[in-house]
Amino acid sequence: MKRMRTLAAALAVCLAAAGCGGSGRQSQDPGPAGGIAQDRTAIDPAATGPAPEVPGARRGGVITVYARTTPNTFDPTNIYYADANAMAKLIFRTPTQVMMRDGNPVLVPDLTDLGTVSDDKLTWTFRMRPGIKYADGSEVRVEDLAYAIKRSFAHDVFPYGPSYQLSYFRDGDTYKGPYASGDDYSGVETPDAQTLVIHLAKPFADLPFFMAFPLFTPIPKAKDTKETYGNDPMATGPYQFDAYTPGSRLTLKRNPHWDPASDPARHQYVDGWDFRWGQDDVKTQQQVLNSTGPDAAALNYAQVDASLLPQLAGDKAAQLVTGASPCTRTFQLDSRKIPLEVRKAVAKAWPADQMWRAEGLNGHIAQKATTILSPSVPGYTQYPPVPDLTSEGPGDPAAARKMLEDAGRLGFELSWYYDNTSAQAQQTSQIRADAFTAAGFTVKPIGITTAEVRAKTSDYDAPVNMGQSPQGWCSDWPTGGGWFPVLFTSEALANRQSLGMLTDPAVDAEIESIAALPAAEATAKWGELDRKLMEMYLVIPRFYMKTAFIVGTAVGGAAADSSLGQPTYTNLYVKSA
């Protein structure tokens, strides 16, 4: 998921068959500096509302949520980053949903069942729950689900949203959404008031997981205001927009037409939410830790800053909420512009230890990485690290220089963007520049402002050859199918979310072959592919992320959503109002 923001459990059984049951999962406890446990299967096709009560929960109060980073959109079609995805669970219901149960993520029905698939694996049929309403009291129709799917193909209008449908849904390569291509789309049909049918171009065993994304939340065609829809979207979850100032603040109030009896995954404990962005994280984390006045019922969802760790002892230790995260951070190398022998020299010179220290990383929030898949994702394989891709050590510039000399590449230019308004980004860029210069490279760091970072690093035609986005990945759902097809195929490059900018027909074919397998068979093969891709030196693996955030003393039910690496907002309550 562009989840540097957006799901992590395993499906080791036949999700491709209707009513297929799932086994339990072992609980995860990564510990303050411990390793990340690997998830196991968890699906519950029989789950119904209401959601199990959170012990000790009470109604009332408002929770304030602080963060420096601002979600880029609340249009459900365009949501893909983990922060907005986690918040979206308060506002939007989707055909299926990943909920936290006993600390573990579980796929459950939401607006529909988990679907049945045809014998040829190319047609999925979902049955919709009756009687679901929007916040304005109008009824949710199956046609609204179909329209939302059609809307997701308008990728020119909603460029940040997921793109699996463009590859897997019938005619996804030619249909351009309802604005450009009209409502007549062969990939979706609604034969009756309760039935949604999706036609595929190729088998997609993970479709029920994909349908937990906000892009599948129903949208009435008559209410679609295109680019401005995200400023006041139709709510189906327990909360709706109250007031919204894009870029700085969002308040939510109760949705009076949300029915807990129909929802197996959400609660409506608090009266409202107050999300405030653009705040200094260290400052607001300290406020929450102090829990003075309203800040007792507050949290900051950014990773806890290392400077605050010494305070997290005694009674305050309970204010640090930790858990697993389905994310791996990487630094990518453009294989179109940097040949393999040079990529190996980059890895040899990489200053891993210096970068770790400069970024303030620690065992509470990170674990050093040697693979693409996070350990929390089924299919992760702990194979012997590929040479120089261990995330350990100071780098070896002298050996890297020798590699460049032997390849006739001494002086090869490396170029990347960095945020010249951030002291930390300036420091880490300089660390890389010093290491690469010592290794015999010519370096060309290009400073840009914070406001330019997302656009510049997403431009695959930019005059740089390393460090473009995504700078890592979080599991879109709990299988390797949420990683490799979207990151390493030729289509991934065209969709501007590639790791390594790879166009390799053999890799495309292998990924498509594995993706067509039942999840139980595909799991191990994703791990084997992980090693093959690492041996191509497409990325420098940096660290697996963990979840560690600060809550106020009056916030109850706090836990990490390990499928997103975010707080589980739907379970939170105020201990006293």
Q: What is the pLDDT of residues 369-413, one digit of tens each?
A: 999 999 888 788 999 999 999 999 999 999 999 999 999 999 999
Q: Please give the model's pTM, rounded to 2 decimal places.
A: 0.82
Mean pLDDT in residue range 8-25:
26
Token code pair at residue 238: 């327990």
Strand pairing of 116-117 and 104-109? unpaired
Mean pLDDT in residue range 14-21:
27
* 565 close to 326: Cβ distance less than 8 angstroms: yes
Residues forming beta bridges with residue 331, ordered by sequence position: 540
Would you give the distance in Å from CA 468 to the centre of its chain? 17
Q: What is the pLDDT of residues 466-485, one digit of tens each?
A: 999 999 998 888 788 889 99
Query: Is the previous residue joined to 45 through a cis bond, with omega within 30 degrees of 0?
Result: no
pLDDT at residue 41 above 90?
no
10 CB-contact burial (10 Å; exposed 0-12 / middle 13-18 / buried 19+): buried
Mean pLDDT in residue range 122-143:
97
Please give the CATH topology (third level) of the domain spanning 327-545: Dipeptide-binding Protein; domain 3 (3.10.105)
Q: What is the pLDDT of residues 190-207, one digit of tens each?
A: 999 999 999 999 999 889
pLDDT at residue 13 above 90?
no
- What's the pLDDT band for 274 if we cut at 50, 70, 90? very high
Would you give the distance in Å from CA 116 to the centre of its chain? 26
CA gap 286, 270 in Å, rounded: 23
Token code pair at residue 71: 């979600």
Indicate the range of 56-60, 277-281, 449-453, 505-509 predicted with least confidence.
Answer: 449-453
Task: Give the pLDDT of residue 399.
Answer: 98
Encoded amino acid at 407, one letter: A
Mean pLDDT in residue range 480-493:
91
Q: What stretch of H or E contains 249?
A: strand 249-254
Q: Angle at CA 71, nearest 5°, toward 572 and 153?
A: 110
Helix intervals (H) in 105-253: 142-151, 164-168, 178-181, 207-210
Residue with tokens 């909360």: 239
Strand pairing of 104-109 and 96-101? antiparallel
Residues forming beta bridges with residue 417, ordered by sequence position: 446
Question: What 3-state class would DSSP assign to 121?
Answer: coil
Q: What are phi and psi of 97, to 5 degrees?
A: -150, 145
CA gap 428, 223 in Å, rounded: 46
Task: Give the pLDDT of residue 51.
Answer: 96
Task: Give the pLDDT of residue 523.
Answer: 86
CA gap 353, 346 in Å, rounded: 15
CA gap 21, 326 in Å, rounded: 23
Strand pairing of 413-419 and 442-448? parallel
Which of 8, 6, 11, 26 has its CA nearest to residue 523? 11
CA gap 540, 344 in Å, rounded: 10
Beta-carbon-side half-sphere exposure of residue 84 (alpha carbons within 13 Å): 27
Contacts 24+ apart (CB under 8 A), 370-373: 370/534, 370/541, 371/328, 371/530, 371/531, 371/534, 371/541, 372/328, 372/330, 372/473, 372/483, 372/487, 372/499, 372/530, 372/533, 372/534, 372/539, 372/541, 373/328, 373/480, 373/483, 373/526, 373/527, 373/530
Contacts of 225 (CB under 8 A, 6+ apart): none
Mean pLDDT in residue range 3-12:
32
Q: What is the pLDDT of residues 543-560, one digit of tens each?
A: 999 999 999 999 999 999
pLDDT at residue 249 above 90?
yes
pLDDT at residue 39 above 80?
no
Inter-helix orientation angle 423-438/397-407, to 10°: 60
Residues forming beta bridges with residue 574, ordered by sequence position: 555
* 522 close to 484: Cβ distance less than 8 angstroms: no
365 CB-contact burial (10 Å; exposed 0-12 / middle 13-18 / buried 19+): buried
Residues of the chain above pLDDT 90, percent: 77
Task: Give the pLDDT of residue 317.
Answer: 95
pLDDT at residue 6 above 50?
no
- What's the pLDDT band for 52 if we cut at 50, 70, 90? very high
Question: What 3-state class would DSSP assign to 428?
Answer: helix
Average pLDDT over the chain, rounded to whole? 90
* 534 close to 541: Cβ distance less than 8 angstroms: yes
Task: Give the pLDDT of residue 495.
Answer: 82
Residues of the chain above pLDDT 70, percent: 93
Which of 568, 576, 66 has its CA nearest to residue 280? 66
Classify 19 in phi/psi space as left (phi over 0), alpha (psi -120 to 50) or beta. Answer: left
- What's the pLDDT band for 167 if we cut at 50, 70, 90? confident
Indicate the range of 22-36, 256-270, 391-405 predicted with least confidence.
Answer: 22-36
Task: Give the pLDDT of residue 515.
Answer: 87
pLDDT at residue 134 above 80?
yes
- List the chain domain ranges: 327-545
Mean pLDDT in residue range 555-576:
94
- Among 8-17, 119-128, 488-497, which range has the highest average pLDDT? 119-128
* 306 close to 360: Cβ distance less than 8 angstroms: yes
CA gap 546, 324 in Å, rounded: 5
Task: Give the pLDDT of residue 4.
Answer: 43
